[in-house]
């Protein structure tokens, strides 16, 4: 999930918030200021309630961020890059760019988040007890944050993918069976079962108790069910790509142009006739950069005829590249994390090919078709 607003960096990780976070922040603040605190602590002024509502909401999301940083810290320590963390309507999500390579790494990454939440719950409980008799307002906020962090930690330990507990379950099953795909499938099915329980439970709650809480519960269940299915599909793709190299899908038949060619000419004479989204820009046999359809579209159309590609191309030192021997999972990681459509393939400092998002999709479709046919033949033989 892409951040709508960037807040900064922590441990080298980009921190951002999605626009949906603003919705839940407003709803949570209103709920705390208008209902939760007035019911538990009557007699305080409106300003106090709203101040508590805003501060409690901010500290809750700071707690969610700490939870995700717990995952990220362990991932980085285990050699797994973390690109960003985004706060959104359902909490937070760390963009960990690849799967754990061992069951132990998966296990430690999974439990680190809930461990941070439980530690925060303990800290807020201590603040609550230390402020008894001195500051009832601070104590009230600390009690709420202690309870909500304990709930956050416990909820995430439910053994259903993609919750942290589901990842713990996958790590245990992976260690026992030595089969990552089967472990993920079981954890994913368990996660979907829990999600449907929330959906139907939320619908029942909406009719019996109140529509707002029930609708929210069902909405969380729907999100978890969707995420569980998506996580399993992502794992299948990763398994298909594992062990395959760039040389298997890259194209060596690519067009190169000189830096003084206009954007209009690059589009009309090279991109459109040869169905290429990107062209290498070279001069005297030396690669200068890459011009893409996206680069051209960023320039006003009336300037295409007068603007040379050298002014808008991505220069060589800024290019994200791969080699012929790189794993296709590396290609997928770069394409997704950098939001790219193609990657130059470099060998010994020379451009030897191009690998595109379309190349990767065609390869996946072919492999999946082969796997389906192989499975069908195996079933026929057993019959």
* Domain range list for the chain: 1-157, 162-242, 246-363
- From residue 121, alpha-carbon distances to 18, 69, 151 in Å are 25, 16, 9
pLDDT higher than threshold 80 for residue 56: yes
What is the C-alpha to C-alpha distance for residues 122 and 126, in angstroms, rounded to an integer?
A: 6
pLDDT higher than threshold 80 for residue 96: no
80 DSSP assignment: -
What pLDDT is recorded for position 382?
53
- Kindly indicate the confidence band of residue 108, based on its pLDDT and cuts at 50, 70 and 90: very high
**68 flagged as catalytic:** yes
- Kindly indicate the confidence band of residue 253, based on its pLDDT and cuts at 50, 70 and 90: confident
What is the arithmetic mean of pLDDT over 216-231?
Answer: 79
Q: State pTM to two decimals.
A: 0.70
pLDDT tens digits along 305-361:
999 999 999 888 888 888 888 888 888 878 876 777 888 888 877 788 888 888 888
What is the C-alpha to C-alpha distance for residues 164 and 153, in angstroms, rounded to an integer?
A: 9
What pLDDT is recorded for position 116?
95
Tokens of 383: 């019959």
pLDDT higher than threshold 60 for residue 381: no
Q: What is 246-363's CATH topology?
A: CBS-domain (3.10.580)
Tokens of 116: 């941070």
Catalytic-labelled residue, pool 14, 68, 99, 311: 68
Only one residue has tokens 């008894």, namely 132
Looking at the chain, list the stretches that DSSP marks H as alpha helix, in order from N- to C-terminal side: 19-31, 37-40, 46-77, 103-130, 136-156, 164-177, 180-208, 211-241, 263-265, 272-274, 293-297, 328-337, 357-382
Q: CB burial class (10 A; 0-12, 13-18, 19+) of residue 198?
A: buried
What pLDDT is recorded for position 190?
87
Q: CB burial class (10 A; 0-12, 13-18, 19+) of residue 260?
A: exposed
pLDDT tens digits along 116-171:
999 999 999 999 999 987 888 999 999 999 999 999 999 889 888 778 888 899 89
pLDDT higher than threshold 70 for residue 89: no
What pLDDT is recorded for position 189?
87
What is the C-alpha to C-alpha distance for residues 164 and 162, in angstroms, rounded to an integer?
A: 6
- From residue 273, alpha-carbon distances to 151, 283, 299, 342 in Å are 59, 22, 21, 18
């Amino acid at each position: 999930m892409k951040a709508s607003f960037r807040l900064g960096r922590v441990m080298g990780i980009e921190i951002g918030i999605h626009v949906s976070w603003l919705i839940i922040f407003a709803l949570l603040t209103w709920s705390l200021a208008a209902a939760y605190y007035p019911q538990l602590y009557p007699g305080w002024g409106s300003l106090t309630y709203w101040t508590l509502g805003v501060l409690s909401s901010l500290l809750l999301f700071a707690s969610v961020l700490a939870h995700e940083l717990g995952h990220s810290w362990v991932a980085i320590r285990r050699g797994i890059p973390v690109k960003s963390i985004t706060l959104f309507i359902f909490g937070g999500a760390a963009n960990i760019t690849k799967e754990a390579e061992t069951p132990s790494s998966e296990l430690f990454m999974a439990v680190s988040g809930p461990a941070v939440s439980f530690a925060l719950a303990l800290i807020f409980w201590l603040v609550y007890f230390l402020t008894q008799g001195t500051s009832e307002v601070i104590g009230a906020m600390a009690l709420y944050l202690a309870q909500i962090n304990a709930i956050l930690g416990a909820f995430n330990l439910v053994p259903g993918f993609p919750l942290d507990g589901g990842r713990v379950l996958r790590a245990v099953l992976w260690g026992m069976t030595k089969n990552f795909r089967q472990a993920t499938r079981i954890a994913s099915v368990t996660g979907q079962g829990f999600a449907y329980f929330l959906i139907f439970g939320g619908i029942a709650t909406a009719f019996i108790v109140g529509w707002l809480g029930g609708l929210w519960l069902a909405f969380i269940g729907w999100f978890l069910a969707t995420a569980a299915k998506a996580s399993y599909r992502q794992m299948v793709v990763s398994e298909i790509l594992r062990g395959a190299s760039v040389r298997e899908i890259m194209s060596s038949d690519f067009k190169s142009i000189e830096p003084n060619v206009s954007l209009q000419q690059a589009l009309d004479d090279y991109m459109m006739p040869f169905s290429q989204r990107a062209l290498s820009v070279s001069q005297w046999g030396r690669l200068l950069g890459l011009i893409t359809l996206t680069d051209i579209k960023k320039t006003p159309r009336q300037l295409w005829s007068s603007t040379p590609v050298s002014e808008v191309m991505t220069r060589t030192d800024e290019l994200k590249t791969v080699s012929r021997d790189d794993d296709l999972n590396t290609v997928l990681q770069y394409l997704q994390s950098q939001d790219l459509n193609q990657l130059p393939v470099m060998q010994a400092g020379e451009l030897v090919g191009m690998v595109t998002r379309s190349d990767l999709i065609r390869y996946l479709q072919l492999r999946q078709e082969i796997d389906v046919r192989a499975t069908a033949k195996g079933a026929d033989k057993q019959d």
